[in-house]
Structure 1
Amino acid sequence: MDPEEIKRAKGLEKTALVGEAVEKLIDSDSAKRDYLDRARIVARVYKAILPDAAAIEFSPDAVLISVLAERIRSLMPKPDISSIMQDVEELLDRSVAPIPYEPPEDPELIDIGQIDFDKLRQKFDTGKQRTEAEQLRALLSQKLAQMVAGNPTRADFLERFQKLIDGYNSGSQNVEAFFNALMRLAEALSEEEQETLREGLTEEEKALFDILTKPEPELTEKEREQVKAVARTLLQTLKDEKLVLDWTKKEQARGAVRQVIEVTLDDGLPDAYDEETFYRKCDGLYRHVFDAYQRGPGGIYAAA
C-alpha cells in the first residue's frame, strides 16, 4: 500500500484505502505491536517539534501514521488510550491533510447472544478478513472477561481462547481457520448463556450452581434441582445477612460468610457429596464470593 496514494485520495476513497492499509498491518500480533510502537514514537517526535513551521512538511505523514494506529486500536479490546487520543486529536487539528475516522461497524454486537453468525460469516467472506477476525477477537476478549469474572467455572473457555490466539500467532493456522475457530467459540459462549436460562437460574445463581456441580459429582435430575435450591438459598442468605460493606476486610465477617456457606451446604446438599467433595465445594464457593462480592451484596453483577 502506497502512503502517497492514501494522502492523495479524498472522501470515501481515502477511508477505503485506510481500511486496506489496516488490513495489511494486522497480519499478526507481532506486526501489529511493532507498528503501534513505531506510531507512538512518530507521534511523540512530531509533537515535540510543534509549533515549529518545519513540522508542516511532515504533517501529512504524521497524521496518516497516527490515524492508521488509531484504527488498529479501535479493533482491539478497550484499553486506556486517553494519552494517545490526545496526541492524535492535536495532530488532526494541525493537519493539512485530514483523514476521516471510521468507527468500528456493528456496535450492537456487544451482546454475544445477539450476534447474527450468518451475517458475520458473509462479512468475513466478502470483506477485509484480518479486520473482521480482529473485531471478533476483541468482542470475545471482552465477553470472556465478563463471563469468567461472573462464573469461574468458565475459565476453560478463556484457556481455549488463548490457545487459538497462540496458534494463530505461531503461524499454525491462517486467518480463515482462525476466524472459523473464533466463530465456534462465539457459538459455544452463546450456548453457555442459553444454558443459564434453561436451568431457570440467574447469572449469580448459575455461578454457585456450577461451582457445586462441575466437574463433579454425578447427580440425578432430582439431585440437580436440590442443588439449585441450595444455590438460591445460599445466595439470598448471604445477600440479606452477611455481604455488608467491606466485609472482606474484617476477620469476623469473613468467618461468618464461611460459616453460612458450610451450614447451608451441609443442610441442603444431597448424599452424592462425600466429605472431601463437600469441603472442596465450600472452598470454591468462598473464593468466588470473596472475589465477586467485595463491594457488597450487588458485587460485580450490579454493574452488569
Structure 2
Amino acid sequence: MFRNLQKALAIYGGGNTGTEEPPIRDKSDLVEYLRHLVAVTVAYLAERKIDAAAIKQARGLEKVALLADAVEALIETDEAKREYLAKARAASRVYKAILPDPASSEFSPDVVLISVLAERIRSMMPKPDIKAIMQDVEDLLDRSVAPIPYETPDDPEVIDISQIDFDKLREKFDTGKKRTEAERLRALLNQKLTAMVARNPTRADFLERFQNLIDSYNSGSHNIEAFFKALVKLAEDLSEEEQKAVREGLSEEEKAVFDILTKPEPELSDKERDQVKAVCRDLLQALKDEKLVIDWTKKETARGAVRQAIEVILDGGLPDAYDETVFNTKCDTLYRHVFDAYQGGGESIYAAA
C-alpha cells in the first residue's frame, strides 16, 4: 500500500520517481485513489462488525459508545491494530494531498471517522514522541472540514502506577471494554518500565518479562483475561519495586547504584549492606561535586577521571565480600550506568524526572 501511496503523492507533486509512468496532470487520479482507500478501509471496518454509517449518524453519548466499541474491535491483536493504522495513515495522507479541492467534501465524513478511530488507538499506545504521532492527523482533524462533530472528551483518570487501586482496575476490566482496558494498562507499563530501567538498569528483567507477556498474547498463548491478569501482576510488582528505595532509606539514584553493587552478588550481611549504602552516597556526592562536569562524556580526560573516582571510592569503601573479579565487574557496570544517566553540570535522568 505505502509503495503505491508514495508513488502517487510523488507523481502528483511533480517529483521524479524514476519510473516510466506519466505524471498526474490534475487531481482526478489522486481522488480516485482516495476513493479506493476509503472503500477498502470502510470494508475493513465492516468485516469487524463496525458500522461506519451508524457512527457518522449517531450523536452525543451514542456516538461515544459506538466509537469505543469500534476501537475495542480494532485492537484485538497487535497485527490488527497495525493494519488498521496503516490504512488510516494512507487515507489521511491522500486526503490532505487533495485539499482544498471541492472533491474532498465527498470523503470528509469517512476520512474524519477513520482518523478519529486511529487517533483514539494511538492515544492508548506508548508515546515516546507525541509530535511524530500526531503529525499524520493534525491537519485532517481540523474540525472545520468535518461536517459532523466527533466528541472526544478527555479521560479524567490519569493513572499513577504507585497509586493504582488494583481491585478497582480489575473491576473496570470485568465490566468494560476488555481489550481497551488492557491496551491502556499495557501503554502505561511500557512508559513506566522505560523510565524505570533508564534510572536503574538492574530492572531490565521486568522489561524482559513485559515483552514476553506481549509475545505470548500475540501468539495466542494468552487470552485477553489471562493477559490482563498478568499485566496487573506486573504492575503490582513494579509498584512494590518502587517502594524498595524508600524502605532501604535511599533516593532513586542511590538505589540504582546500590542495586548495581549488590545484584546478583555478593551475599552481604545487614552490616555490610549498610556499608555499601554509605559508599553509594559518598560516590554520588564525590562525582557530582568534582567529576561530572559539563560534557564530561565527550572529553577523554574527564571520562578517565570519572572511571578512576569510581574505582578509588569503591576500593576504599566496599566490604571484603567483593573479590577482584566481582569488584572489576561492578566498576564496569557502574561506569556504564553513570555514563548513560549523567550528562554533567547537574543534568541527569534523575533531575529530568
Measured after TM superposition, the shift of residue 105 of structure 1 is: 4.7
2:148 corresponds in structure 1 to 97
Query: For the residues of structure 2 that align with 1:82 and 1:229, how far apart are their CA atoms?
Result: 47
Measured after TM superposition, the shift of residue 97 of structure 1 is: 1.6
- Given candidates 60, 63, 73, the residue that maps to 2:112 is 63
1:162 corresponds in structure 2 to 211
Query: For the residues of structure 2 that align with 1:295 and 1:96, how far apart are their CA atoms?
Result: 53
TM-score (norm 1): 0.96
Query: For the residues of structure 2 that align with 1:164 and 1:237, how far apart are their CA atoms?
Result: 41
Query: For the residues of structure 2 that align with 1:259 and 1:281, how far apart are their CA atoms?
Result: 13
For CA contacts below 8 A with separation 6 or more, give which structure has more relative contact order.
Answer: 1
Query: For the residues of structure 1 that align with 2:98 and 2:84, how far apart are their CA atoms?
Result: 21
2:100 corresponds in structure 1 to 51
Q: Secondary structure of 1:86's match? A: coil
2:35 corresponds in structure 1 to none
Q: What does the per-residue CA deviation read over 1:33-67, in whole Å, with 9 as the maximum and x for residues that have no partner?
A: 10000001111121222222222122111110000
User: Which residues of 2 match residues 254-293 of structure 1 at below 5 A?
Assistant: 254-293=303-342
Query: For the residues of structure 1 that align with 2:201 and 2:318, how far apart are their CA atoms?
Result: 21
Query: For the residues of structure 1 that align with 2:157 and 2:329, how far apart are their CA atoms?
Result: 43
Unaligned runs of 5+ in 2: 1-49
Q: What does the per-residue CA deviation read over 1:47-99, in whole Å, with 9 as the maximum and x for residues that have no partner?
A: 22222222212211111000000000011111432312413323x22011221
Query: For the residues of structure 2 that align with 1:105 and 1:158, how far apart are their CA atoms?
Result: 28
Q: Secondary structure of 2:141's match? A: helix
Which amino acid counterpart does residue 304 of structure 2 have in structure 1? Answer: G
Which amino acid counterpart does residue 226 of structure 1 have in structure 2? Answer: Q
CA contact (8 A) 2:115 2:141 kept: no
- Given candidates 3, 7, 16, the residue that maps to 2:65 is 16
2:157 corresponds in structure 1 to 106
Q: What does the per-residue CA deviation read over 1:152-185, in whole Å, with 9 as the maximum and x for residues that have no partner?
A: 0000000000001111111111111110000000
- Given candidates 186, 192, 195, the residue that maps to 2:241 is 192
**Greater Cα shift, 70-79 or 131-140:** 70-79
2:298 corresponds in structure 1 to 249
1:128 corresponds in structure 2 to 177
Which amino acid counterpart does residue 37 of structure 1 have in structure 2? Answer: A
Query: For the residues of structure 1 that align with 2:120 and 2:344, how far apart are their CA atoms?
Result: 36
**Greater Cα shift, 287-296 or 45-54:** 45-54
TM-score (norm 2): 0.83
Query: For the residues of structure 1 that align with 2:307 and 2:164, how far apart are their CA atoms?
Result: 40
Q: What does the per-residue CA deviation read over 1:261-292, in whole Å, with 9 as the maximum and x for residues that have no partner?
A: 11111111111000000010000110000110
1:83 corresponds in structure 2 to 135
CA contact (8 A) 1:245 1:296 kept: yes
Q: Secondary structure of 1:294's match? A: strand
2:192 corresponds in structure 1 to 143
2:267 corresponds in structure 1 to 218
Asked which structure has the greater CA Rg, the reply is 2
Query: For the residues of structure 2 that align with 1:9 and 1:68, how far apart are their CA atoms?
Result: 15
CA contact (8 A) 1:246 1:295 kept: yes
What is the number of residues matched between the two proteins?
301
**Greater Cα shift, 207-216 or 291-300:** 291-300
Are 1:183 and 2:235 counterparts? no
Query: For the residues of structure 2 that align with 1:102 and 1:12, how far apart are their CA atoms?
Result: 10
Q: Percent identity?
A: 69
Which amino acid counterpart does residue 127 of structure 1 have in structure 2? Answer: G
CA contact (8 A) 1:67 1:88 kept: no
Which amino acid counterpart does residue 22 of structure 1 have in structure 2? Answer: V
Q: Secondary structure of 1:54's match? A: helix
Query: For the residues of structure 1 that align with 2:126 and 2:100, how far apart are their CA atoms?
Result: 34
Q: Secondary structure of 1:88's match? A: coil
Q: Secondary structure of 2:138's match? A: helix
Measured after TM superposition, the shift of residue 103 of structure 1 is: 3.2
Query: For the residues of structure 1 that align with 2:81 and 2:211, how far apart are their CA atoms?
Result: 17
Q: Secondary structure of 2:321's match? A: coil
Q: What does the per-residue CA deviation read over 1:217-276, in whole Å, with 9 as the maximum and x for residues that have no partner?
A: 000111000000011100110011100101111111111111111111111111100000
Moved over 4 A (4+): none
